[in-house]
Amino acid sequence: MPYVDRQNRICGFLDIEENESSGRFLRRYFILDTQQGSLLWYMDNPQNLPAGADIMGSLKLTYISKVSDATKLRPKAEFCFVINAGMRKFYLQANDQQDLVEWISVLNKATKITVPKPGDAHAETPQEVLGAMKQVSYKMEIIGGVPIITATQEQGEGQNGADRGGLKRGQNQLPYFLSRGTQDQAVVKAGYCVKQGALMKNWKRRYFMLDENAVSYYKSELEREALRVIPLKEIYKVQECKQSDLMMRDNLFEMVTSTRTFYVQSDSPEDMHSWIKAISGAIVAQRGPGRSANTEFHNLIMKTEVCFHVVLLILTQIYTHTNINTFSLSSSLLFV
């Protein structure tokens, strides 16, 4: 679903047919920036890309005449809508029907607010549109008086582009090796999220899978071996991250264990709350309603405090006993 980020921009993932009439839709991260008057799309959320990452394409809001449902025009493209910009039509795919309706609504609203100024109809150069952004290979097509700027395909779609677009699936649709009935555990929820690394603290997109006993994450949905398996019995708390402002991350939640806190970023607020609810529910289902994650976490703290007091008592007794023996020895030496 589209959501508002910290810079008051509307963001979210969509699939776009970058080459008109090709029928090939690619997964992109869209930013609707009404302050700048542009619709931008990237390979991924810029938060997960290197600093100064290149945009894949941009479109001035002043050139958008209408955004409408295109499911009848493109019956093979599910949840499809079209952006009319002069003589060029951009076909995009939403994630579901609600996502489709919301994107059409926010785009139409943005284009109504953005009224073209008298001297605004000239064809900008790529430098004018991209500003101080790193210069890479771009192409600009002027179709019906509308400048359309896109990154050239030579930058390489590879794993992050064409493959991601071709592998698009819903949040709970399973990877191919688990869709054939070979899994041992029933999968509760699955989908892509971005997690923070333990050592380098970098952020990488991983395929997460929640079953009845654990949360696992993979390098991609095609991998058979999990990079890590986190048993539900080790998770004491799962909640929206209170440090999201400091970490400058939207839609961030955390899974707390006794040894580490896992920070995970979802693609939207709805997805974040869905993961929290699913993981919390799986924990309760495994432990029973009387032994929730918070109860387990509280019990761990209580046990730790008890152990601390026991150790402190032993050390106090040893210290006292040592002092008494030292005093006795000193007294004996005085009378020798």
266 pLDDT above the threshold of 50: yes
91 pLDDT above the threshold of 90: yes
- When pLDDT is cut at 50, 70 and 90, the band that residue 86 belongs to is confident
Residue 326 confidence (pLDDT): 56
Closest C-alpha to 135, from 125, 146, 124: 125
Backbone dihedral region for residue 156 (phi beyond 0: left; psi -120 to 50: alpha; all else: beta) = left
Name the least confident of 58-67, 169-178, 207-216. 169-178
The percent of residues above 70 in pLDDT, for the chain, comes to: 67
Measured between alpha carbons, how far is residue 236 from residues 208, 240, 265, 280 in Å?
Answer: 19, 14, 19, 10
Average per-residue pLDDT for the chain: 78
How does pLDDT run across 134-193, given as a tens digit for each residue? 444 555 566 555 556 666 544 444 444 434 443 444 445 555 455 434 455 689 999 999
More confident residue, 127 or 136: 136
How does pLDDT run across 218-251, given as a tens digit for each residue? 999 989 899 999 999 999 999 999 887 778 888 9
Q: What 8-state DSSP symbol labels residue 174?
A: P
- Look-up: residue for tokens 């100024």? 117
Closest C-alpha to 146, from 189, 96, 111: 111
Average pLDDT over residues 80-102: 92
- When pLDDT is cut at 50, 70 and 90, the band that residue 48 belongs to is confident
Q: How far is CA 138 from the centre of its chain?
A: 27
322 pLDDT above the threshold of 80: no
Q: What 8-state DSSP symbol labels residue 52?
A: T
Rg (CA), the chain: 28
- Look-up: residue for tokens 């649709």? 173
Q: CA 301, CA 244: separation in Å to the nearest integer?
A: 25
Average pLDDT over residues 29-37: 93
The three-class DSSP label of residue 218 is strand
More confident residue, 54 or 93: 93
Q: What 8-state DSSP symbol labels residue 96?
A: S
Written as six digits, the tokens of 96 are 């579901």
Q: CA 46, CA 30: separation in Å to the nearest integer?
A: 10
Q: CA 202, CA 51: separation in Å to the nearest integer?
A: 13
Burial profile 104-122: b = 16 or more Cβ within 10 angstroms, e = fewer: bebbeebbeebeeeeeeee
32 pLDDT above the threshold of 60: yes
Q: CA 185, CA 274: separation in Å to the nearest integer?
A: 20
More confident residue, 162 or 75: 75
More confident residue, 206 or 179: 206
Q: Give me the domains of the chain, ranges plus CATH numbers.
A: 3-164 (2.30.29.30), 169-287 (2.30.29.30)
Q: CA 94, CA 112: separation in Å to the nearest integer?
A: 21
196 pLDDT above the threshold of 80: yes
